[in-house]
Amino acid sequence: MAAPPEEILTHKTMIKALIFDFDGVIVRTEDYSPRHAWDARLGLPIGSVERAVHHSDLWVQAQLGRISEAAYWRGVAELLYMRGDDISQLRRDYFSGDRLNYRVLDYIRELRQQGYAVAMLCNESLQLENRLRELGIRDLFEPVLVSAQIGVMKPDPTAYRVALHELRVAPRDAVLIDDTLANVRSAQTMGMQAILFRPETNLREELAPYLSNSSE
């Protein structure tokens, strides 16, 4: 019989693998002014560009791999009534306010040196692999599992099953670090450990209970 949710949330075991989300954990948007500048440039209310890029059905379809990257951005241009030749500049500007979380990245390097498997599982489009390489962090995660490639998005349990299969670990041997509560709860119902990540989260402290006996 599966453990009730309250037991899943409190019971902790030592783990072998860590599964990281990308947006909100590894990278976060700290400067929204480039996006707002495009709102002004297009004569639209503040937040219009962000809604078109990341809060539309187009984005859901891109994350599920149902439309190509080119088709996705063409759709964004249509939503914003943009000229096609401006979209490449928007793509560059849109992410220019994002910042890597170097504290987390440095800790990931330590964890890898200690022998832990470190994977990435995220709801993203096919552009993520290129973006990770551009940021110089692709080699920190193996495997990198993107919803657009596996065809399913968190919090669907199938996404976690794919990750566990690729890592060759049991649910109890993995911990998810994610900034979305629904994703965390879904992982916990499968028997995984999970940490809800916030900007103020001290990941070293949060992970200590799962790693403290790892050298025994």
Residue 82 maps to a domain = yes
User: Would you call 207 helix, strand, or coil by DSSP?
Assistant: helix
Note the pTM of the prediction, 2 decimals: 0.90
Domain that holds residue 87: 31-94
Contact 137/112 with Cβ under 8 angstroms? no
**CA–CA gap between residue 17 and residue 141 (Å, rounded):** 11
* Of 215 and 114, more confident: 114
**CA–CA gap between residue 99 and residue 104 (Å, rounded):** 12
Q: Structural domain tally of the chain?
A: 2
Predicted confidence (pLDDT) per residue in 146-189, tens digit: 999 999 999 999 999 999 999 999 999 999 999 999 999 999 99
Q: Is the pLDDT of residue 138 over 70?
A: yes
Q: Which residues contact 142 (CB under 8 A, 6 or more apart)?
A: 117, 118, 119
- What CATH number should be reported for the domain holding residue 54? 1.10.150
Predicted confidence (pLDDT) per residue in 56-82, tens digit: 999 999 999 999 999 999 999 999 999
Strands 193-196 and 27-29 come out as unpaired
Of 70, 94, 118, the one marking the end of a domain is 94
Average pLDDT over the chain reads 92
